[in-house]
Amino acid sequence: MIIRKLKLVNFRNYKKIDISFDKKINIFIGDNAQGKTNILESIYFLALTKSYRTMDINLINKNSQATKVKGEIKSENIYKSLSVEFSKEKKECKINNNEVKKISDYITNLNVILTCPEDINILQGTPAERRNFLNIELSQISKNYIKKYNEFNRILKIRNNYLKMIYNSSGVDMRYLESVTENLVEREIDIYQERKRFIDFINDRISSIYEDISGIKNFKVSYVTNVDLDDFSKEKIREKLIAKYKNSLKKEIENGMTLYGPHRDDLAFLIEYDDIKLYGSQGQQKLAIIALKLSEIEIFKEITGTYPIILLDDIFSELDAKNRNKLIQHINKDIQVIITSNDTRGINKKFLNNAKIFKVIDGNIYEKVVGNNGK
């Protein structure tokens, strides 16, 4: 899929701008604090209806009360217009000017893979940040995942409240807890299976990509559940979970919360058996994140039928020339990429000649005609 046009109204430091993208390579060049990342953030916001780096309220231009992002998308020869309008009072998402109420019907329409400096938190941050990564990626490609995940959270709250109630009073209905637990388990099965499938997909590719860009072999992502799942069939997951909840009932009542389940999942990024978070150099860690994002490209294609749009924020400044070229080779397919960079120095000439280049100066955007562009 590609984004053909983008319109921003009162988004961050942009008052009102329209951008037409190239169907392949787009590069936004500019000094610090001019608005380069804001462009990528607006596309991410259009895709997922939230920012990845701030609370939504900060997206509204400081002198305004509301913001609007609108994009024209082309996916498998179907044209769509998407928009998100946001103010303190409301958030409204539209497809072809019709309001879409259900978030799962909206966010599967525009698929993006973003690589940005904040990504390092996927490695170095808390397990919650790694689960957040899984949730964001899976909700873009699976309506079933969003549905089951939302149901899971709703039932989890009910179960936790009931566990607290049991602790505080006698004569409670244990059959009710059993039925809530069964309902919870059914949603957990889907979440575990979808996460496992996604991580398996990643592992089919990440080792060779990482070896190519870093020279290091045997990199993999390990899925860490707190219920020791080894067989991910429906029946086996159900069996394990029911037994786990049965054996931990006393402990869960004492704690007043559900201690086992996908809300406690984690990921480990391993070279051989060593966690890269503990042993990897900064450069190795950055490349690991890039390999992770690159390995997702084919998964999106396989599941959705079309390549996602790749957003690369400030990625070149962190890589040496050799790695920059390696990265370019990996994205040099029939994929739309939108890149930010402080300058064009060090970017492969051939790549630059095929790119549409935009200069960003203080919330204004100027198109530059370079090389083959504009023919």
Which residues are at the interface with ligand ATP (CB under 6 A)?
12-13, 30, 32-38, 58, 60-62, 314, 340, 342, 360
| Per-residue mark of binding to Mg ion, 8-47 (x: CB under 5 A) | -----------------------------x----------
Least gap, CB of 69 to ligand ATP (angstroms): 13
Least gap, CB of 277 to ligand ATP (angstroms): 25
- Given a contact cutoff of 8 angstroms between Cβ atoms, the answer to whether 72 and 4 are in contact is yes
Least gap, CB of 164 to ligand ATP (angstroms): 40
Q: Of Mg ion, ligand ATP, none, which one sits near residue 369, judging by CB under 5 to 8 A according to partner kind?
A: none
- Given a contact cutoff of 8 angstroms between Cβ atoms, the answer to whether 312 and 115 are in contact is yes
Measured between alpha carbons, how far is 330 from 353 in angstroms, rounded to an integer? Answer: 18
Q: Of Mg ion, ligand ATP, none, which one sits near residue 13, judging by CB under 5 to 8 A according to partner kind?
A: ligand ATP
Measured between alpha carbons, how far is 58 from 53 in angstroms, rounded to an integer? Answer: 10
Single-letter amino acid code for the residue at 331? I
- Given a contact cutoff of 8 angstroms between Cβ atoms, the answer to whether 302 and 201 are in contact is yes
CB neighbours of 98 closer than 8 A, spacing ≥ 6?
A: none
Nearer to ligand ATP, 109 or 341 (CB): 341
Q: How many residues bind Mg ion (CB under 5 A)?
A: 1
Single-letter amino acid code for the residue at 193? Q
Nearer to ligand ATP, 72 or 314 (CB): 314
Least gap, CB of 7 to ligand ATP (angstroms): 17
Nearer to ligand ATP, 361 or 369 (CB): 361
Least gap, CB of 53 to ligand ATP (angstroms): 9
Nearer to ligand ATP, 36 or 244 (CB): 36
Please name every residue paired with 7 in a beta bridge, in sequence order, or none if there are none: 18, 70
Nearer to Mg ion, 37 or 75 (CB): 37
Nearer to ligand ATP, 14 or 260 (CB): 14
Q: Of ligand ATP, Mg ion, none, which one sits near residue 364, judging by CB under 5 to 8 A according to partner kind?
A: none
Measured between alpha carbons, how far is 254 from 261 in angstroms, rounded to an integer? Answer: 17
In the structure encoding, which two tokens stand for residue 216, read together? Answer: 């290091």
Task: With residue 129 as reference, give the H or E element that holds it.
Answer: helix 127-141
Nearer to ligand ATP, 115 or 295 (CB): 115
Please name every residue paired with 114 in a beta bridge, in sequence order, or none if there are none: 311
Least gap, CB of 51 to ligand ATP (angstroms): 10
Q: Of ligand ATP, Mg ion, none, which one sits near residue 61, judging by CB under 5 to 8 A according to partner kind?
A: ligand ATP
Distances (CA, A) of 309 to 40, 45, 256, 368, 373: 11, 13, 43, 22, 20
The number of angstroms, rounded, from the C-alpha of 107 to the middle of its chain's C-alpha atoms is 11
Phi-psi region of 31 (alpha: psi -120 to 50; beta: other; left: phi over 0): beta
Residues that bind Mg ion (CB under 5 A): 37
